[in-house]
Amino acid sequence: MASVERPPVPAEWVDRLSAIVAAFPEVREHDAWIGMAWKVRSATIAHVFGGEDQLFRITFRADPDEVMAFQHMGEPYFKAGWGSNVVGLILDDDIDWDEVAELLTDSYCIQAPPALADQVPRPAG
């Protein structure tokens, strides 16, 4: 059985994601097994990739009480098959980049050491 090619993530999406996480202390970008990922120290904040189904996804971390909510909302959200707090979002041309920025900010604050997370401006409320 031949494997299906995974599409490359559009460069403009990678650039937008990079710009979002570049605002956080000590973030580094690296090529992942497929797609692109961002880490703070050794902890992954986000991973964007194209799937064999030709859809694009970004995975990130969520608070445990939010994981079930993401899972129950259904598409475009999903619970990843790895990690207890890894969730994701299917990306398309209509993606709400402000929402993505909020999700990645939360993911960073979950994954970063507290001293770094405390440096990230958070919206009131």
Cα separation of 19 and 125, whole Å?
24
Cα separation of 49 and 55, whole Å?
9
Q: What percent of the chain has pLDDT over 90?
A: 79
What does the angle CA 86 – CA 89 – CA 90 come to, to the nearest 5 degrees?
135
Residue boundaries of the structural domains of the chain? 11-117
58 vs 125, more confident: 58
CB-hemisphere CA count at 13 Å for 106?
18
pLDDT digits (tens, 9 = 90+) for 37-76: 999 999 999 999 999 999 999 999 999 889 999 988 989 9
pTM: 0.91
Class of domain 11-117: alpha beta
